[in-house]
């Protein structure tokens, strides 16, 4: 298995990731609620959490491939 170097994030990278994630999360919530799949608040909350979890997983995978804002650290 390929060994990966540890890294730290710059503050700019952390803030950028957080802002982008919040935009994605708000869009996810908006889409779930505007599609009106159900009128039940609990079902909407569950749907938003499931889709949010899946989208966040792929968002983090993409962020890990981006080198901008990473500072090499010790292994």
Judge whether 74 lies within some domain. no
Which domain range does residue 45 map to?
A: 7-67
Judge whether 73 lies within some domain. no
Judge whether 72 lies within some domain. no
Judge whether 46 lies within some domain. yes
Judge whether 24 lies within some domain. yes
Judge whether 75 lies within some domain. no
Total tally of structural domains belonging to the chain: 1
Separation CA 12–CA 69 (nearest Å): 7
pLDDT string in tens for the chain (75-residue length): 666 668 899 999 999 999 999 999 999 999 988 987 788 889 999 999 999 999 999 999 999 999 998 898 765
pTM over 0.85: no
- 3-class state of residue 1 by DSSP: coil
């Amino acid at each position: 298995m390929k060994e990966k170097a540890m890294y730290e994030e710059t503050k700019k990278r952390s803030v950028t990731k957080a802002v982008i994630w919040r935009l994605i999360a708000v869009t996810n919530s908006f889409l779930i609620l505007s599609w009106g799949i159900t009128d039940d608040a609990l079902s909407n909350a569950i749907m938003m959490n499931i889709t949010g979890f899946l989208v966040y997983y792929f968002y983090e995978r993409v962020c890990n491939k981006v080198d901008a804002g990473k500072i090499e650290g010790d292994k």
